[in-house]
Amino acid sequence: MVLQPGEILVEGERIRAAGTSVEHPQGAKIIDLGDTTLLPGLIDAHVHLFLHPGAEDLQTVEESVPWRTLLAADAAKADLLAGFTAERDMGTEGAGSADTAVRNAINQGLIPGPRLRISGNAINILGGHEDAIHYNPAQHVLPNADYANSIDQLIEVIRQQHKEGSDFVKIYETGKDSIVDGELHTPYQYSEAQLGAAVEEVHRLGVTVAVHAQGEPGTLYAVQAGVTSIEHATQLSGETMRLMREKHIPAVPTFAIFDYFAQHAPSQAVAAREKAMLEVKIREFKKQIAAGVPFAVGSDVGPFPHGTQAREMELMVRYGMKPLAVLQADMMEGAKLLGWAGQIGELKPGYFADIVAVPGNPLEDITAVERVSFVMKGGAVVRQQ
């Protein structure tokens, strides 16, 4: 996973050999990166390419989908230059299947960006998490997700999104959150039976389903149904953690977004609420580590600047994980979540030549991943300082 010192022989878009020393074929181009550490390309399992800092709801109302798509392409470039060679885009926030175009343009070499798994719009209930409920109802402001209020509607929306090019399904399983006496309260949005039907449908299509799920009982319903990952996972019961461990369903904590909101709140009251939520997350995260819950790394970048999300790994270490465990969660667990296990996430022969270089040793100082100096994706150099 980490080479220092190390050499990698790249042939075409894949790694031919990796180790402390490899053969130097005649005529091979040599790139000397000096005293740096070589890592597999970073993976962010929770991004929003179609969001940028600022009022999130207003973006989706005031900005056209073509404009948001251009901004998404720019965001993809920023993430790639920061060392993120693979990402999972967790919903376009009202831009429908526009992320299909961004993914396809990257795949065809028209624009720079990470390898992408995309979901189109997320799926939500009427009056749920992303339903523009603070606007004048007479204006009929559209939601930032696709409505599905029953099993039949869930299946119909999943099929429509799949037709439009989605790689996986994103479902909002919990709604408005509140902290009361240090405990998280959040209503569930879909029953276990409804989620089970969604899981059955995505399995039929050969894809996966990730859920936004902050707390109970929604998180329990989700893992009982067999979803692929629990996004945010702020507060989990003992039974939920047990099932996640047994079924190997990773939590994706997304500390970076909570940390950003706590530091950039528009008022003292909002800042107090965000800090209380972050404190709950930190406390519960330590319990999850102790319980053996598997983790992947996802930042929820978008509401904070693209290209800065490696801070997520710093926060996961600060709040209790070892640097090696965080790197494994990022690269190995991330590769599994994105469906590219055996293709990315390790520096091994036959894997894609997705390689980054950082100063120092991230096993000793995880913040090294925030100072990427070299990026290669599929054997092509996209950044070299």
Determine, yes or no, domain membership for 15: no
133 lies in some domain: yes
Let me know: does 325 contact 73? Beta carbons within 8 Å: no
Q: Which residue has the tokens 């102790």?
A: 290
Mean pLDDT of 125-152: 91
| In-domain check, residue 8 | no
In this model, does residue 305 exceed pLDDT 90? Answer: yes
Residue 356 falls within a domain, yes or no?
A: no
Do residues 1 and 346 touch, judged by C-beta distance below 8 A? Answer: yes
Residue 364 lies in a domain: no
**116, β-bridge pairs:** 87
- CATH code assigned at 240: 3.20.20.140
- Which own/partner pairs from 235-244 qualify as long-range (CB within 8 Å, at least 24 positions apart)? 235/183, 235/184, 235/280, 235/284, 236/284, 236/287, 236/288, 236/293, 238/291, 240/216, 241/287, 241/288, 241/291, 241/292, 241/293, 242/291, 244/293, 244/294
Domain that holds residue 197: 45-328
3, pLDDT greater than 80: no
pLDDT at residue 261, as a whole number? 94
Weakest-pLDDT range from 55-64, 106-115, 375-384: 55-64
Overall number of domains in the chain: 1
Prediction pTM value: 0.96
Q: In the chain, pLDDT over 70 holds for what percent of residues?
A: 100
- Rounded average pLDDT over 12-22: 95
For the chain, the average pLDDT equals 96
In a domain, residue 204? The reply is: yes
Does residue 20 belong to any structural domain of this protein?
A: no
In a domain, 169, yes or no: yes
